[in-house]
Structure 1
């Protein structure tokens, strides 16, 4: 008879198994924190995963007013899968993408339609600078998972960076495989994309082009940029040129 389940736990890499049979379950809030990162892809490692409905206020699901702040309207009654992603530089990790995807799939305890990715390109307490890691290869690797690829209607990417940024180390694997820019993933249900922290680097423009190309029913794209990018004629022009190639998509360039 269970209808609502809230579960939050952490793991240090030891074997951990949960089995729940709840045929009439209606509301799930599921979260796992990895204090010692053990799974990764390229330079990125999974720090936390959550799967739940959005926060509710006064008994009603929160809805963002898109006309006021340019954000995308939350899908009603949608489950959101949220991943917090850190650089693996100071952790023991494996670069086998299968392990990362297998770990994520184990947490897909219910259907979802919103995917939110939060990239933190620094490790708290260890450094005061951010690395300019490429995120496109990781995101496309994730979207390549069939259950994720077919499910998402909304994609949100938040790039958290510190004011001081450093170039990636020599031979950094963040841009591997090199052919991610030519990937053709059929995102048949993706309608809304929101990107925060767009810095105007070449790989970010490449990622924009891939998403536009792979999402045939895309309706809306919102790109949030810093004041530095907003005042750069070259970078703004390049963003608008990409937007112009897709006139049937509602595209917005916003400044933080």
Structure 2
């Protein structure tokens, strides 16, 4: 049982086990929440539902394993800024309901590729907001999806590759986007067919306005 914190507006939690789904509703005026769950292997579910929260920062330095279902759930109608960084070894559920979200910095790194197409595996998904700049005026901000892709061993097989790969990317699209940064570690492999397939995915094809490809070649 928690006592209501009626005047609390800013809260930082680090290194402590807490039932966020139960605790956060007792902070009815909370505007800024910072969570650092590094070292807490049992914090596999992060649930933040708040009618007042405007900024959320989540940092999880551990590698979540596939032994438990990991889920990140955020429901905040006035949330404007979201920062999240975490690692993944297994399946992750993501649910972000924040219609006023304006600034995002999101990173999910995979310990090993568990989603991919052909010989190309997904190693990191990012989502961030780039402030628009013009010669004389401030342009609207642009949301950019960032994918880090690298070849895996030929023996690796991705089950239901098309559907699972698209679904994994889709869950990290926490708001609408118009830019794609594609980081490819080619290791001498041809990548044209894969890129065309990726750009043909419905969610990417219908939203994309700007594309940047970064090639990371290694001998």
TM-score (norm 1): 0.49
| Equivalent-residue separation in structure 2 for 1:22 and 1:102 (angstroms) | 20
1:76 CA displacement: 4.6
1: CA distance between counterparts of 2:147 and 2:134? 21
Q: CA RMSD in A?
A: 2.4
For 1:134 and 1:43, the matched residues in 2 are separated by: 11
Return 5+ residue gaps in structure 2 as ranges: 1-77
The aligned counterpart of 1:152 is 208
Residue 33 of structure 1: aligned partner = 109
Contact 1:39 1:93 in 2 (8 A): no
* Deviation for aligned residue 1:63: 5.1
Tell me if the contact between 2:94 and 2:171 (Cα under 8 Å) persists in the aligned partners.
no
Q: Is the 8 A contact 1:43 1:89 kept in 2?
A: yes
- For residues 51-200 of structure 1, what are the structure 2 equivalents within 5 Å? 51-54=127-130, 61=131, 76-89=140-153, 92-94=156-158, 96-121=161-186, 130=187, 132-162=188-218, 164=219
- 5+ residue gaps, structure 1: 55-60, 66-74, 122-129, 165-256
Q: State the shift of 1:20 in Å.
A: 3.5
Q: C-alpha distance in 2, partners of 1:45/1:38?
A: 7
Displacement of 1:16: 2.5
Please give the per-residue CA displacement for 1:65-97, whole angstroms capped at 9, x wherever unaligned.
9xxxxxxxxx85111111111111188541622
Per-residue deviation at 1:38? 0.5
1:105 Cα deviation from its structure 2 partner: 1.1
State the SS of the aligned residue for 2:142. Answer: coil
Q: TM-score, normalised by structure 2?
A: 0.56
1:36–1:91: 8 Å Cα contact kept in structure 2? no
Name whichever structure is richer in helix by fraction.
1
User: Aligned pair count?
Assistant: 138
CA–CA distance in 2 between the matches of 1:103 and 1:50? 12
Q: 1:81·1:114 contact (CA, 8 Å) conserved in 2?
A: yes
**Counterpart position of 1:3:** 80
Deviations 1:160-219 (A, max 9, x none): 112x4xxxxxxxxxxxxxxxxxxxxxxxxxxxxxxxxxxxxxxxxxxxxxxxxxxxxxxx
Task: Determine which structure has the larger strand proportion and give its number.
Answer: 2
Question: Aligned partners of 2:205, 2:126: CA distance in 1, in Å?
Answer: 18
1:8 CA drift (Å): 1.5
Alpha-carbon offset, residue 12 of structure 1? 0.4
Query: In 2, Cα distance between the equivalents of 1:92 and 1:43?
Result: 7
